[in-house]
């Protein structure tokens, strides 16, 4: 008789994509497919009835916050929120106080490692909604779900990560996850914003994937099945003018897409700045609004697997 391992995420903290096995990621993506169908059929859902999500955002992130709140409410649960605050000190006290009011904590914090610390001190599961420039695992799950949905697979696809590869948590999480799924990854960024070498070495050593580097947008686009674009984080530059100059030189335009594969897709975590010309929004390449719509079923799936 064949033994089958049943993967479970019940009461798990979701802090870093590094903590998740490939099978666990697939479990979330499969559950998101189920949630998407239920949403389409407008089925009433009650998995989170009588459950409370505490939303702790210490920096603004409208899309992430609202989609977590909507996901919880779609599942019949309730949301409590702290008043938005930039007072990031005493995280331990805040988490200890709030955990008694809720069943799950969603934390966004500008300091790297804050979610891991919160998870260590909280009895309730903690979901990392972005910790500085470290990790944004739930955005990565949305990205993987979108790629699988649009392309039918992740393995073997040519995925180009473009833009700020140094400071962006979304990119670091996705880079690791793409390596888990054995995608061929091209890294294209201005020299000032290259992916840290340690991150590249890590995924090469662990997964043996092919990674290409380029400073040229043209070569990153030519063979790509998926372009994942991220803007420059201007707050990381002392000189805003310099940041804008870098961004302008590294911008996706209609002209630059002339040599792209016909079925290539462009993804972006949104909201965009100037890194993608707005004329591209109406082209067949632009899939970022569809990608954003998947944040609901994916976060519903995650909450359901962790809490319900």
Partner 1 sequence: MSEQRIVTNIENGTVIDHIPAGKGMKVFEILKLEKHEDRSVILINTLSRKMGRKDVIKVENKEIEEKEINKIALIAPNATISIIKNWEVVEKRKVVLPEILENVINCPNKNCITNSEENVKSKLVVEKKEPLKLRCWYCERIFGVEEIL
List Cα–Cα distances, 308 to 12, 147, 305, in angstroms.
12, 27, 6
Q: SS3 for 280-296, per residue?
A: HHHCCCECHHHHHHCHH
Residue 135 or residue 304: which is nearer to partner 1 going by CB?
Answer: 135
Quote the least distance from Cβ 303 to partner 1, whole Å.
Answer: 24
122 binds partner 1 (CB under 8 A): no
- Tokens representing 166 are 């140094």
Q: Which residues have a Cβ under 8 Å from the Cβ of 166 and sit 6 or more positions away? A: 133, 189, 192, 193, 194, 195, 196, 236
59 binds partner 1 (CB under 8 A): no
| Contact assessment for residue 77 and residue 53, using Cβ atoms and an 8 Å cutoff | yes
234 binds partner 1 (CB under 8 A): no
Q: Which stretch binds partner 1 (CB under 8 A): 67-75, 128-136, 142-150, 275-283?
A: 128-136
| CA 282/CA 301 separation, integer angstroms | 30
Residue 45 or residue 200: which is nearer to partner 1 going by CB?
Answer: 200
3-class SS at 266?
strand
Quote the least distance from Cβ 211 to partner 1, whole Å.
Answer: 16
Residue 20 or residue 117: which is nearer to partner 1 going by CB?
Answer: 117
3-class SS at 230?
strand
Backbone angles phi, psi at 229, to 5 degrees: -110, 135
| CA 206/CA 24 separation, integer angstroms | 18
Quote the least distance from Cβ 229 to partner 1, whole Å.
Answer: 24
Please report, as residue ranges, which positions from 99 to 118 form the binding site for partner 1 (by CB under 8 A).
Answer: 109-114, 116-117
138 binds partner 1 (CB under 8 A): no
Question: Residue from 34, 66, 80, 92 that binds partner 1 (CB under 8 A)?
Answer: 92
Please report, as residue ranges, which positions from 180 to 219 form the binding site for partner 1 (by CB under 8 A).
Answer: 196, 198-199, 202
Number of residues that bind partner 1 (CB under 8 A): 24
Residue 16 or residue 160: which is nearer to partner 1 going by CB?
Answer: 16
- Tokens representing 178 are 């793409």
Give me the residues that bind partner 1 (CB under 8 A), please: 16, 18, 88-92, 109-114, 116-117, 131-135, 196, 198-199, 202
């Amino acid at each position: 008789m064949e033994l089958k391992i049943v993967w479970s995420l019940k009461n798990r903290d979701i802090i870093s994509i590094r903590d998740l096995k490939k099978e666990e990621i697939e479990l979330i993506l499969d559950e998101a497919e189920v949630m998407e169908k239920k949403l389409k059929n407008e089925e009433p859902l009650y998995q989170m009835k009588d459950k409370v999500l505490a939303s702790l955002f210490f920096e603004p992130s409208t899309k992430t916050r609202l989609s977590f709140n909507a996901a919880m409410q779609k599942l019949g649960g309730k949301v409590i929120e702290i008043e938005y605050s930039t007072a990031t000190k005493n995280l331990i006290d805040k988490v200890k106080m709030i955990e008694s009011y809720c069943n799950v904590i969603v934390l966004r914090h500008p300091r790297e490692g804050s979610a891991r610390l919160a998870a260590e001190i909280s009895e309730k599961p903690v979901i990392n909604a972005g910790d500085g420039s470290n990790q944004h695992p739930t955005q990565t799950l949305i990205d993987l779900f979108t790629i699988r949905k649009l392309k039918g697979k992740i393995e073997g696809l040519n995925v180009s990560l473009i833009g700020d590869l140094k400071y962006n948590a979304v990119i670091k999480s996705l880079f690791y996850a793409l390596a888990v799924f054995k995608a061929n990854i091209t890294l294209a960024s201005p020299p000032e914003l290259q992916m840290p070498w340690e991150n590249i070495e890590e995924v090469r050593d662990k997964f043996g994937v092919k990674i290409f580097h380029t400073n040229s947008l043209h070569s990153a686009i030519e063979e790509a099945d998926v372009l994942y674009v991220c803007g420059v984080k201007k707050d990381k530059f002392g000189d805003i003018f310099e940041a804008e100059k870098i961004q302008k030189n590294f911008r996706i335009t209609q002209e630059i897409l002339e040599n792209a594969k016909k079925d290539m897709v462009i993804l972006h975590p949104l909201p965009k700045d100037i890194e993608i010309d707005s004329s591209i929004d109406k082209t067949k390449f632009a899939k970022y609004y569809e990608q954003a719509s998947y944040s609901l079923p994916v976060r519903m799936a995650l909450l359901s697997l962790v809490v319900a």
